[in-house]
């Protein structure tokens, strides 16, 4: 039936994910035309090697935002876990893999602190995680006395951050596993269903017997654990554990999630959307550093890539949000018009 096909194309176009794929294609073409050596395997490996930590945080942030919450503490958590990891390996002589698992456990505990404050004391997530945002970073700096850093890790551990497995950066494989796990949790289990229900109407979810506190806690604990994992990967890539690891990463992760079409009010959004949002951001950051033939205000684009990428990220995010909001308004208007136009018709025609 032609009408149903046109409907499905329309709904495909209306999907946020489709728009993001187009944005990513546009970015790739633009940077390939303007820049140097953009579309090479080596560069592409680099794009993801350098932003995999943010990708991890973004994917783990998705369930939290689906519940209508937010976690500002994940960047600081990375700093704390990185320092704890370095301390365990260097000062305590622990096996780095064991220490890595411990760092993930510490991250989960930190997430548990957030969850406890949010679900038991009914404090707003923004305030709680703003508090732990400072607290975790402060602890990390206290442990290192503000200056110390840990280095001298074994080559086998550093390989996690710098080697390739099957042609892809080793840490990308970790990302795949985590992303697949969270995708399954969000889209294929009752936990994911309950995240949405809580995000749309937490009281309503409670009246349906959903364990709201328990499931909300799970989202924050996962976010914390993944922050711990991201810290270990960052240390493996840099070969150094410092208290300032992951500064500002929480905002980049939230940007990726929101750019990916997850509603900041909770309820709607997909893990695939988040991943696409993250890819769009990562390519934008990398691509600008490849443009050295063009100048902007007497500077080569590459030399001001950082500044420019901040500006463009903001523009991209605001544009995506505006388009999202206006299509939603249009859809609501359309639906209202339809229901007003034929109030007597029986919609149960299927």
Residues of the shown chain interacting with other proteins in the complex, contacts defined by CB under 8 A: 188-194, 196-197, 200-201, 203-211, 267-268, 335, 339, 346-350
Q: Smallest distance from the beta carbon of 322 to other proteins, in angstroms?
A: 21
Considering beta carbons, is residue 109 or 201 the nearer one to other proteins?
A: 201
**Cα angle at 327 between 258 and 325, to 5 degrees?**
40
Helix pair 16-34, 271-289: axis angle to 10 deg: 10
C-alpha of 66 from chain center: 12
For residue 183, give the H/E element and its range.
Answer: helix 170-188
CB 46 within 8 Å of CB 195:
no
Q: Smallest distance from the beta carbon of 336 to other proteins, in angstroms?
A: 10
Q: Smallest distance from the beta carbon of 64 to other proteins, in angstroms?
A: 18
CB 306 within 8 Å of CB 286:
no
CA distance 104 to 227: 7
Q: Smallest distance from the beta carbon of 182 to other proteins, in angstroms?
A: 14
Considering beta carbons, is residue 2 or 346 the nearer one to other proteins?
A: 346
Please provide the DSSP assignment of 133-180 as one string.
HHHHHHHHHHHTTTT--EE---HHHHHHHH-EETTEEHHHHHHHHHHH
CB 107 within 8 Å of CB 226:
yes
Considering beta carbons, is residue 246 or 273 the nearer one to other proteins?
A: 273
* End-to-end Cα separation, the chain, in angstroms: 15
Considering beta carbons, is residue 2 or 350 the nearer one to other proteins?
A: 350
Considering beta carbons, is residue 10 or 295 the nearer one to other proteins?
A: 10
Considering beta carbons, is residue 100 or 273 the nearer one to other proteins?
A: 273
Considering beta carbons, is residue 74 or 212 the nearer one to other proteins?
A: 212
Q: Smallest distance from the beta carbon of 126 to other proteins, in angstroms?
A: 22
SS3 46: helix
Q: Smallest distance from the beta carbon of 2 to other proteins, in angstroms?
A: 20
Cβ neighbours of residue 320 under 8 Å, at least 6 residues apart? 16, 19, 20, 23, 258, 259, 261
Q: Smallest distance from the beta carbon of 161 to other proteins, in angstroms?
A: 34
Considering beta carbons, is residue 149 or 268 the nearer one to other proteins?
A: 268
Q: Smallest distance from the beta carbon of 211 to other proteins, in angstroms?
A: 6
CB 222 within 8 Å of CB 246:
no
CB 114 within 8 Å of CB 222:
no
| C-beta neighbour count of 260 within 10 angstroms | 28
CA distance 66 to 84: 30
């Amino acid at each position: 039936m032609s009408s149903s096909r046109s409907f499905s194309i329309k709904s495909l176009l209306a999907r946020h994910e489709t728009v993001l794929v187009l944005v990513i294609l546009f970015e790739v073409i633009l940077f390939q035309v303007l820049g140097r050596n953009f579309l090479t395997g080596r560069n592409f490996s680099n794009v993801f090697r350098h932003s995999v930590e943010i990708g991890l945080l973004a994917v783990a942030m998705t369930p939290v935002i689906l519940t209508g919450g937010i976690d500002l503490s994940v960047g600081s958590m990375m700093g704390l876990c990185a320092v704890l990891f370095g301390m365990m390996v260097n000062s305590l002589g622990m096996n780095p893999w064991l220490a890595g698992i411990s760092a993930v456990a510490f991250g989960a505990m930190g997430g548990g602190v957030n969850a406890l404050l949010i679900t038991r004391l009914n404090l707003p997530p923004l305030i709680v995680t703003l508090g732990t945002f400072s607290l975790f970073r402060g602890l990390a700096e206290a442990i290192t006395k503000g200056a110390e850093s840990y280095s001298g890790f074994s080559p086998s551990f550093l390989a996690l951050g710098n080697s390739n497995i099957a042609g892809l950066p080793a840490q990308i494989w970790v990302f795949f596993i985590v992303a697949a796990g969270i995708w399954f949790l969000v889209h294929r289990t009752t936990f994911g269903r309950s995240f949405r229900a809580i995000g749309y109407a937490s009281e309503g979810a409670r009246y349906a017997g959903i364990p709201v506190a328990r499931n909300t806690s799970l989202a924050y604990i996962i976010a914390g654990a993944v922050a711990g994992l991201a810290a270990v990967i960052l240390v493996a890539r840099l070969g150094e554990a410092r208290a300032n690891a992951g500064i500002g990463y929480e905002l980049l992760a939230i940007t990726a999630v929101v750019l990916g079409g997850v509603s900041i009010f909770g309820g709607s959004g997909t893990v695939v959307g988040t991943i696409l949002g993250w890819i769009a951001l990562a390519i934008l950051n990398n691509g600008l550093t490849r443009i050295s033939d063009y100048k902007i205000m007497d500077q080569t684009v590459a030399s001001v890539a950082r500044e420019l990428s901040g500006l463009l990220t903001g523009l991209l995010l605001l544009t995506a949000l505006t388009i999202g909001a206006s299509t939603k308004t249009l859809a609501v208007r359309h639906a209202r018009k339809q229901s007003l136009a034929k109030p007597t018709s029986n919609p149960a025609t299927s």
